Amino acid sequence: MADPRVSVIEDRLKKVNKVLSVSSGKGGVGKSLIASTLSLALADKGYEVGLFDIDFTNPSTHIILNAESVSPTEENGVIPPRVRGLKYMSIIYYSSGHVSPLRGVDVSNALIELLAITRWGETDFLVIDMPPGIGDAVLDMIRLVKKANFLVVTTPSKLAFETVRKLASLLLEMRIPIIGVIENMKMRESPFIQEQVEKMGLRFLGEIPFDYSLEEAIGDVNKLLKTMFAQKVKELAEKIALQTLGD
């Protein structure tokens, strides 16, 4: 007759002010690094921030944040542990690094389960690290999290942007709010992405130059926050906070 978990999701997110879904049509564009750094940057500004990694088959934010020794507590559901001030939730607490080969229906079920049992409490921003592509996770976010706003990440590559164009077209067609597009890993001057984004009527939030020091900072948050990448994300965080809280 009915899946009881779905009806409680809205209630679980009641005290979350803004949901930012960091997404892209393509993998490898830097979503997880942007989602993690954006969360840290917003928390640094004094906001209460949650980070939820829903890339269930390939979670990676726990590696970026070095969050492998924490676990949630049980209290009428599940309360995410704090990692560098963030309320941090990931399937890694349950899969413990084992490969989790999930088909679409399993991805949906795992997402519904975690949305139904996780208690975020008072939260200004819940940043979601989405898996790549336009599949179950995107469709489920749209279906289940009515307050989701999408933050779309691309690289300067025409191939990456082509997938972003499709994702953005879907979101526009479904009237889902898009905060804007970030161009990551920029290696040379080119107006191509900005022009294309603006042609679609979307906001071009800014560009992040390719940062060769970033790989070394993965797993060391202090180092990460000192990178040029993080400086750029902090500027974007300011813009995103002003834009979304003003909506």
Residues that bind other proteins (CB under 8 A): 1-8, 11, 56, 74-78, 91, 93-96, 98-103, 105-107, 109-110, 113-114, 116-117, 119
- Apex CA 41: angle with CA 38 and CA 46, to 5°? 130
- Distance of alpha carbon 241 from its chain centroid, rounded? 15
CB 114 to other proteins: min, Å: 7
CB 58 to other proteins: min, Å: 13
59 versus 180: smaller Cβ distance to other proteins: 59
Find residue 21's DSSP bridge partners.
128, 150
CB 197 to other proteins: min, Å: 35
CB 78 to other proteins: min, Å: 7
Q: Are strands 178-186 and 204-209 parallel, antiparallel or unpaired?
A: parallel
10 versus 216: smaller Cβ distance to other proteins: 10
108 versus 155: smaller Cβ distance to other proteins: 108
- Apex CA 83: angle with CA 81 and CA 86, to 5°? 85
User: Tokens in use for 134?
Assistant: 């336009």
| Nearest C-alpha neighbor of 84 from the set 216, 214, 222 | 222
Length of the chain: 247
102 versus 142: smaller Cβ distance to other proteins: 102
Q: Is residue 12 within 8 Å of 116, Cβ to Cβ?
A: yes
CB 76 to other proteins: min, Å: 4
106 versus 235: smaller Cβ distance to other proteins: 106
